[in-house]
Structure 1
């Protein structure tokens, strides 16, 4: 007959009680080892952030380094930050203080690239908590909403994600066109040219091609490159049935009149 241990609500055989005690002790040991491992990881991450902070301090205080040296050091620093970011994402437990210090470091590194780099970093961090719709139209509308509100850095990231997911969808060239539009809104015409060119290269038969040609023409004009601008406007004008074609023809007429006035 088994000997029983009596409690308030249940009874257990002695051998089962001993087994439970062994399991509790094993769990306690594992917990202590896990905490020790966490402490070691925390120290390691903290030391690496300290090292990168020190490197950044030396870079910003140095007045004797050449532009090429600074650029090379910046590239190396960015690479190390990216590696550290990857390791942080693999950690199964959260270190709030380490995460906060790393975010500060990321901002300092981004500042080396100027206001645009900071804005892009902030948009990327904000997007981390945004739930992406699985429906392509809703995803597009999400990006378009940010675009319409003037949140261009965020909209560009979302449009680029959309294009990666649905590259061959009819909405993809429109998304690409809006990426270019957002850059024009920020007066970044050179960058806009590169984005509009992608519509020509990736979706040459898209219904948005005339729009891309027209906007390429306008962007080149803004850059002071009239011959290139005129060439693209002429290409866009070959689509008289679309609004972009009509606008291109009107712009060419305007340019011609202005040219004649100067003679």
Structure 2
């Protein structure tokens, strides 16, 4: 029974759509894309500037040739002047084209998203307790105060800083509760799954089962929802959560 329940949690975990790391990668990919776009524009800008300088130099040479041709005497003076005029016209067109392109690129760079202006994620500016119990207490207080993002950040920091602390299971449970309160069941189930599989002796383990059942129900995984209740009653028969589970199981039997 417990294996099937854990399998249900594992399937949701393997789906991968709710891991915080995935959201982090989306941001990183977006920043990488912006950096690539900026670099491409700057490279194009440099190339355009070079072409403009070359075209301008060629135009000046053509103008000098036109000036010399206009001072030439002889039968072929008309041909020389016409040729020089054609060269000047072509080069002026190239200069104008490169100038317009240069202005467009500069406008894009000025108006485009700037990597340096992108705000970087940072820790909330307040003192963190050095004691793990006080640290977890602070996270719980932030969660109760409705500062969910800050609470989640603190729970994550707690797990990283004290991975073997006796309260680690509670940190996972409370993190799951922060998602459960927003009806983000997949995220919640991932954390509840951690409690059920790795920290079954933590005091909130019975509630992890109970809320897992509710999440499975919302996801229309009715068999898993029932199994969570049955395992809760079996593993924690004297808990308050088990009393609720018994009532819900009785209701399910009546509906059959």
What range is the shorter-chain TM-score in?
Answer: 0.5 to 0.7
How far the C-alpha of 1:211 sits from its partner, in A, is 2.0
| Equivalent residue runs for 1:15-164 within 5 Å | 76-79=29-32, 104-106=117-119, 124-125=121-122, 127-164=123-160
Does the 8 A contact of 2:173 with 2:195 survive in 1? yes
Counterparts of 1:200 and 1:138, CA distance in 2: 24
Which gives a bigger RCO, structure 1 or 2 (Cα 8 Å, sep 6+)? Answer: 2
Q: Which runs of 5+ in 2 are unaligned?
A: 1-24, 36-113
Deviations 1:20-48 (A, max 9, x none): xxxxxxxxxxxxxxxxxxxxxxxxxxxxx
Counterparts of 1:74 and 1:152, CA distance in 2: 20
Aligned to 2:67: none
Deviations 1:172-205 (A, max 9, x none): 1111111111101111011111111011232133
Which portions of structure 1, spanning 4 or more consecutive aligned residues, are displaced by more than 4 angstroms? 72-75, 79-82, 101-104
From 226, 233, 236, the equivalent of 1:230 is: 226
Q: Is 2:238 the counterpart of 1:248?
A: no
Give the greater-gyration-radius structure (CA).
2
Counterparts of 1:256 and 1:75, CA distance in 2: 49
The number of aligned residues is 153
Does the 8 A contact of 2:124 with 2:150 survive in 1? no
Deviations 1:88-138 (A, max 9, x none): xxxxxxxxxxxxx768524xxxxxxxxxxxxxx8xx54x341211101121
How far the C-alpha of 1:171 sits from its partner, in A, is 1.8
Counterparts of 1:73 and 1:215, CA distance in 2: 29
Counterparts of 1:132 and 1:253, CA distance in 2: 46
Aligned to 1:116: none
From 145, 150, 165, the equivalent of 1:169 is: 165
In the superposition, the TM-score normalised over structure 2's length comes to: 0.53
Aligned to 1:220: 216
Counterparts of 1:204 and 1:128, CA distance in 2: 31
Q: Secondary structure at 2:237's aligned position in 1?
A: coil
Q: Which runs of 5+ in 1 are unaligned?
A: 1-71, 83-100, 107-120
Root-mean-square deviation (Å) = 2.7
Does the 8 A contact of 2:167 with 2:202 survive in 1? no
In the superposition, the TM-score normalised over structure 1's length comes to: 0.52
